[in-house]
Amino acid sequence: MHHPGPPQFMAVGESVQLAPRDPEPDADYAWRVRSAPVASSLELVDDEAVVQFDPDAAGTYVLELDAPDGTHTLTIRVFPGSYLPAGSVRSGASGMSGMSGYSGQSGSARPTQVSGGASGSGSGAGEAQRGEGGRPRIRLDATVEDDVVVVRADPQPNPNSETDRDDLVVEFVVDDRDEVDETAVETDGWELRVPLSAIGDRLRVHAAAIDETYSVPDTVAVERDALTDGGVAEAEPDATGHTDGSGSEAASVSRPNDPPKWAQEVTLYEIYVRGYASDDDEADNTFEALEKRLDYLESLGVDCLWLTPVLQNDHAPHGYNIVDFYSIAEDLGTREDYEQFVEAAHDHGMKVLFDLVLNHSARDHPFFEDAYKNPDSDYYDWYEWQDNGEPGTYFDWEFIANFDHRNLDVRRYLLDAVDMWADVVDGFRCDMAWAVPDTFWQEIRDRVKAKDPEFLLLDETIPYIADFHEGMFDMHFDTTLYFTLRQVGRGDEPAERILDAIDQRSEVGFPDHAAFMLYLENHDETRYIVECGESEAMAAAGALFTLPGVPMVYGGQEIGQRGRRDALAWKHARDDIRDHYERLIEVRDETPALRYDGSFRRIDYEADSDRVVAFVRDHDEGSYLCALNFGDDPVTVDVGDLAVDATDIVSNESIAAEGGVRVDDVAICPLA
């Protein structure tokens, strides 16, 4: 279906790229505005398949897209420009990229612009009680009660806001793609209700919370549970008159923006494919050499492998300059070799992530070579071009050229590649996610999740962007924590700044259900142990496995590797560092409080060094004091009246000391 996707929430002053999904490049498409706020004079270029939507007034817009499979409607809720989230930038919508992913026509570059009062869904957003903080957050849940779908919103003010939670406003929008009798939909404050009889096979509801800005929207989906004969399953009611919370007609409720369950608990491990096992002279190909390392990785406790790009490239060893999006790099092996490696990883209980590059190709790509300085080329419009005839790119990178995602041939080419590799792996690590149109990511997400709801999408975005949790990505690089750990490791900031980095997630608007990947280093960065030191590296390792998030280890980090992309020095591996990592992985796996469902809280503590930080992780199955020491010498941490069992579960030794607990690098103690 060519429908352009889910409803959009935005503010005056923002811009979003809209396009038909699953496009037929040679087909005819046409856009028009069916309805708009009274103050709007917006028109769309109806003979273009991909358009940039720049609202000129607040309110609700309904757009129409004529496509080969019929006419589709898309609702866009636009808030006044004064509600635009400060510093919130969605990914680029291709065009001229300039020097930044946030500039020019490269997408939802959110310049602040003030506009008049709100209109639209009748929520009274213009009358929201305004706070002094930032972006609110929201979570949607649904039940089916007496054959009525009840969607309930749980809005939360920003931690820095003075707004009372009861004063938050919620805006609901029903997905245009679902068959729903709109006259049967009722909203009352934070609740939306619609009879099951008024919906077809599926109902998706989207909503945003409103304070002084609007939140990252959330989504909940309700699907009828069909019988094999096409009927609707009937279920026996429970003591309350409901069935599994689903009413007398069986229905399934899901939260599409929650990360896959398996991804919440794993330890990720990045493999730089051309260095990790390059010491193996006996293997027939790189994938065979990597396969021989799987026993080692399993013994370490790794659950998920991210391999740097494996596609045919221009011979830069990192692999990100791709010349063929459908073929495995010849120097690594064949597609069969790659798939055999993936199957072997699965046999070892490990998932595999594919490094997905959708912003650019190499300049050695045959399409670019044909297009360069040749406006008559069939591929000229595949790329962005500067006025001087050179391709659009970022940061003056000289070996790549940015795709122009306004071209349906580009989208078709990339979507077909997505389909091919999604069938092989368990998820995508998405390179330069900020440089690809956000609505294109939404399409990719829906596309892969339709085949495998547990498929993982992990975005590389620096700095991270809260909007990317709006139907795009399950997990995000925690770039703020990464830079903070570097500053702390160098001694430029006190260790307590780590807690500020965790708090910043909600302060910038990430919902509580967002997942974050924690990392100290990767193939682009100097090794932490080189930049910061050995004591600091041991403490920072503890941070990865005690702070809320999913830890990632860059291959060699666990053995004290000092070269960024060098062949791993396996013969000089540091057993003490490896043992440290192996034990931290084991402890996290065994301790629910340290994982995704564990909560995080600050505590009062005292220490003689600002190189020390302490906090608590809580869970129904137990709470734990976590303390990290980035200094060279042991430090005693006094936690006051907090009742602590001084047995460190990392060392399995008592670390009791006069006035508190003694911390060498990382300590995790149960609360009594």
Q: Would you please indicate which residues are annotated as catalytic (active-site) residues?
A: 431, 460
Query: Residue 631 phi/psi, 5° resolution?
Result: -90, 175
CB-CB contact of 18 with 411 (8 Å): no
Give residue for tokens 């498409």: 29
Please state the φ and ψ torsions of residue 181, each to the nearest 5 degrees: -80, 100
| Angle (nearest 5°) at CA 87 between 217 and 4 | 40
CB 209 within 8 A of CB 161: no
- Within 10 angstroms of residue 13's Cβ, the number of other Cβ atoms is 22
Q: Torsions phi, psi of 346, nearest 5?
A: -60, -40
| AA identity, residue 161 | S
The dihedral built from the CA positions of residue 492, 496, 498 and 502, taken in this order, carries a sign that is negative
Beta bridge partner(s), residue 648: 653
Task: Kindly provide the residue ranges of all beta strands, DSSP E only, lying in 514-610, ordered along the sequence.
Answer: 515-518, 550-554, 599-602
Tokens 């941070």 map to which residue? 543
Q: Is 264 helix (H, G, I), strand (E, B) or coil?
A: helix
> Which of 563, 542, 550, 554 is closest to 485 using CA atoms?
542
**Number of other CB atoms surrounding residue 413 within 10 Å:** 18
Helix (H, G, I), strand (E, B) or coil at 669: strand
> Read out DSSP for 379-445?
TGGGB-B-TTSPBP-STT-SSEEEB-TTSHHHHHHHHHHHHHHHTTSSEEEETTGGGS-HHHHHHHH
Helix, strand, or coil (residue 2): coil
Write 50-54 long-range contacts (CB < 8 A, 24+). Answer: 50/17, 50/18, 50/19, 50/405, 50/406, 50/407, 50/408, 51/17, 51/18, 51/19, 52/15, 52/16, 52/17, 52/18, 52/93, 52/95, 52/105, 53/8, 53/15, 53/16, 53/17, 53/18, 54/14, 54/15
